[in-house]
Amino acid sequence: MAPSVQQIPEAVPTVAPGKVVVPVHEKATYKRQIDVEGGTTTAKYPAYLPTWNPAQIYPPLEPYTHVEHGLAADPKFPDLLAEGTKVTKLTPTIGSEVTGVQLSKLSPAGKDQLALLVAQRKVVAFRNQDFADLPLQEALDFGGYFGRHHIHPTSGSPDGFPELHIVHRYGPPGSSEFDSFLANRNSSASWHSDVTYEAQPPGTTFLYLLDGPPDGGDTLFANQAEAYNRLSEPLKERLHGLKAVHSGFEQAQFGKERSGLVRREPVKNEHPIVRTHPITGEKALFINRGFTRSIVGLKKEESDALLNFLYDHISRGIDWQARVKWAPGTVVVWDNRVTVHSATLDWSTGERRHLARIQPQAEAPYETPYVKKE
């Protein structure tokens, strides 16, 4: 069983704005995965093991002006997809796989084109990357080109790098989180976009593999623009102008119970149900079962019925979904504005699944008027 979280008794580091540098203790007084494992680890990237330091307390997020670099990109992708790169579509409407590009070596023009490609394809898996081997700050510096780093309110992060969101599951069969997660659920399907309760949720988002099982633990993505396109014109028209409430309160409560760490007071925000993408101009559904709670102005039964219809529509949409298999060196980049995703907990062999996420924030979601499809 994980040790309980203790408060740090002595002086705590200065609080934001900017990055909080947390001292790395020989023996920390807060929960660290390395201690959970008895001080040694089999993790391939120990520096990325999560810690939950309750001294990391931040004020509410301030608005910021997002610069959308994809708007400046050359649509022929000369700096991203140079000769020798191979691009394979995973499905017609969502997902591509790319080999022959080293993301960490991209020029600013190449990064602009990356934002455009990801906006168009929704999710792109880049193979054989050196991202996980970079110094952690270099990986963050790369991601910071795309927007202001979002610091997750509750997730574990490497000591001193709260901007890195760590996804980590580890434990022998019968003793792990898997069993508790699946004890009351039939499947691990859990469609969501990341942290949509924020006023400016992330856009171009990076997730890279550190450790994973040889089979299983895939991530599924659904194209929310295509999910919108498939609706009837009267329903599309009705959805325009509606807003939904997205809440971070439940996640904060869960984090508090699990690790004691809540870096910022939880927030709720209202976002349009149909969102327009700033680069492509596409309209996309912007609701997800993870964080959307109700439709503003509708009565509870009406709101639940409409949201549940839309959630079912998205999760049934096998013709606008892609499944990404992880491999050592894989960096997956998705546009969090026009996708939902779900992890799968389908392996029971006890291997560690360990990934790092960089989630630069984007613009506040906005919508443009309904246009009838001819």
Binding residues vs Fe ion (CB under 5 A): 194
Active site residue 194: yes
Active site residue 179: no
Which of 194, 226 has the CB closer to Fe ion?
Answer: 194
State the nearest-atom distance from the C-beta of 341 to Fe ion, in Å.
6
Which of 113, 336 has the CB closer to Fe ion?
Answer: 336
Which of 79, 194 has the CB closer to Fe ion?
Answer: 194
- Contact in structure between 119 and 223 (CB atoms under 8 Å): no
State the nearest-atom distance from the C-beta of 227 to Fe ion, in Å.
17
Distance CA 48, CA 67 (A): 29
- Radius of gyration for the chain, computed over Cα atoms and rounded to the nearest angstrom: 20
Which of 110, 201 has the CB closer to Fe ion?
Answer: 201
DSSP-based three-state secondary structure for 170:
coil
In this structure, the strands spanning 123-126 and 96-99 are parallel
Which of 341, 352 has the CB closer to Fe ion?
Answer: 341
State the nearest-atom distance from the C-beta of 330 to Fe ion, in Å.
16
- Greatest Cα-to-Cα distance within the chain, rounded to the nearest angstrom: 66
* Torsion region of 122: left, alpha or beta (phi above 0 gives left; psi -120 to 50 gives alpha): left
- Contact in structure between 221 and 324 (CB atoms under 8 Å): yes
CB-side neighbour CA atoms (13 Å) of 89:
8
Active site residue 264: no
Backbone angles phi, psi at 287, to 5 degrees: -140, 150
- Active-site residue identified among 192, 230, 240, 323: 192
Q: Which residue is nearest to Fe ion (CB)?
A: 194
Burial class from Cβ neighbours inside 10 Å (0-12, 13-18, 19+) for residue 259 reads buried
The tokens describing 252, both together, are 């904060």
- Active-site residue identified among 341, 352, 353, 354: 341
First to last CA, the chain: 60
Active site residue 150: no
State the nearest-atom distance from the C-beta of 194 to Fe ion, in Å.
5
Catalytically active residues are: 192, 194, 341, 357
